[in-house]
């Protein structure tokens, strides 16, 4: 592929939650014009397939609990490709500015004179809210949304001051929270959140294989264990979770139907989305 006559540049692009039709038009055009595509493990095959023939495709991993390319290696690879004059697309699941290390990557590239652009995408919490009919904010019920991630050590939450989150009018969207659900519930209840507060866990939010379980926060961890998810899990805590209906109306036959609140579901709902590619670069498909 011929280098860009205007010189190399890097676009940090949000792929959205999975389906290509949930990408922005700008994001689709960026992928379709890429000369080198560095994509994370949660980016769907459907989205990767938008890249043109001859585009270098490099799977960088970046999935919790699994081997992946180190951030420093990703930074250096983007720099090397851009200095070859290529249009590089760094493709991230969801929105690149929400837990996507976009600040680190742009700082690294701009400090070395590489032009960069950020293209936003639909984040998992917004995708889940739309898919399962629950507003993230609602007049008189939820007046703010807080996005967070969680890490545990010895069964306890670390790194974040959680003391202010036990607020009945806050919707808490916890990314990468599958293993932290029990510790999260313990901490929030200890800080004053009612044990009966509605909560929901969504696997593969936005995808055709998305699954939902709902339970009071005190029993959400057990509900997730029954669900036995293999894909990425988003946790939503707050009164809006009681409004969730477990049906994707775009695909009425492929997603289980909700029962009365509280509800949990089993493993039905489709195959898990997986990245089909290994960490090595290859040209075309």
Radius of gyration of the chain, Cα coordinates, nearest whole angstrom: 20
Tokens 């991230």 — which residue? 92
Concerning whether 186 is annotated as a catalytic residue, the answer is no
**Peptide bond between residue 262 and the one before it cis (omega within 30 degrees of 0):** yes
User: CA 167, 172, 176 angle in degrees (round to 5)?
Assistant: 145
Catalytic residue among 40, 134, 227, 248: 40
d(CA 76, CA 180): 32
Please tell me the number of Cα atoms within 13 Å of 77 on its side-chain side: 21
Concerning whether 176 is annotated as a catalytic residue, the answer is yes
Q: At 240, is the secondary structure helix, strand, or coil?
A: helix
> What are the distances in angstroms from CA 158 to CA 124, 155, 284?
23, 9, 43
The closest of 149, 97, 151 to 120, measured between CA atoms, is: 97
Given a contact cutoff of 8 angstroms between Cβ atoms, the answer to whether 176 and 232 are in contact is: yes
3-state helix, strand, coil in the chain (%, to 5): 25, 25, 50
How many other C-beta atoms are found inside a 10 Å radius of the C-beta of residue 107?
Answer: 12
Catalytic residue among 176, 227, 248, 263: 176
Given a contact cutoff of 8 angstroms between Cβ atoms, the answer to whether 213 and 264 are in contact is: yes
Given a contact cutoff of 8 angstroms between Cβ atoms, the answer to whether 207 and 44 are in contact is: yes
Catalytic residue among 23, 62, 227, 263: 62
Instruction: Please report, in angstroms and rounded to a whole number, the separation of the first and last CA atoms in the chain.
Output: 15
Concerning whether 40 is annotated as a catalytic residue, the answer is yes
Given a contact cutoff of 8 angstroms between Cβ atoms, the answer to whether 214 and 224 are in contact is: no
- List the catalytic residues: 40, 62, 176
């Amino acid at each position: 592929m011929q280098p860009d006559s205007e010189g190399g540049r890097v676009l940090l692009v949000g792929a959205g939650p999975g389906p290509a039709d949930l990408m922005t038009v700008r994001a689709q055009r960026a992928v379709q014009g890429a000369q080198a595509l560095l994509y994370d493990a949660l980016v769907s095959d459907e989205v990767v397939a938008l890249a043109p023939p001859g585009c270098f495709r490099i799977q960088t991993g970046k999935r919790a609990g699994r081997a992946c390319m180190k951030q420093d290696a990703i930074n250096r690879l983007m720099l090397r490709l851009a200095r070859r004059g290529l249009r590089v697309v760094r493709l991230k699941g969801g929105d690149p500015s929400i837990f996507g290390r976009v600040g680190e990557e742009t700082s690294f590239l701009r400090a070395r004179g590489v032009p960069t652009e950020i293209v936003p995408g639909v984040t998992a919490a917004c995708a889940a809210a739309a898919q399962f009919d629950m507003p993230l904010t609602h007049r008189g019920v939820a007046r703010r949304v807080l996005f967070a991630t969680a890490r545990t050590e010895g069964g306890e939450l670390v790194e974040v001051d959680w003391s202010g989150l036990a607020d009945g009018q806050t919707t808490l969207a916890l990314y990468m929270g599958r293993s932290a659900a029990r510790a999260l519930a313990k901490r929030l209840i200890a800080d004053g959140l009612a044990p009966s507060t509605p909560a929901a866990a969504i696997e593969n939010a936005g995808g055709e294989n998305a699954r939902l379980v709902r339970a009071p926060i005190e029993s959400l961890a057990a509900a997730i264990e029954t669900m036995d998810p293999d894909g990425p899990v988003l946790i939503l805590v707050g009164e809006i979770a009681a409004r969730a209906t477990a049906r994707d109306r775009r695909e009425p036959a492929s997603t289980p139907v909700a029962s009365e609140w509280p509800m949990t579901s089993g493993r039905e709902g489709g195959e898990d989305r997986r990245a089909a590619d290994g960490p090595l670069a290859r040209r075309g498909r």
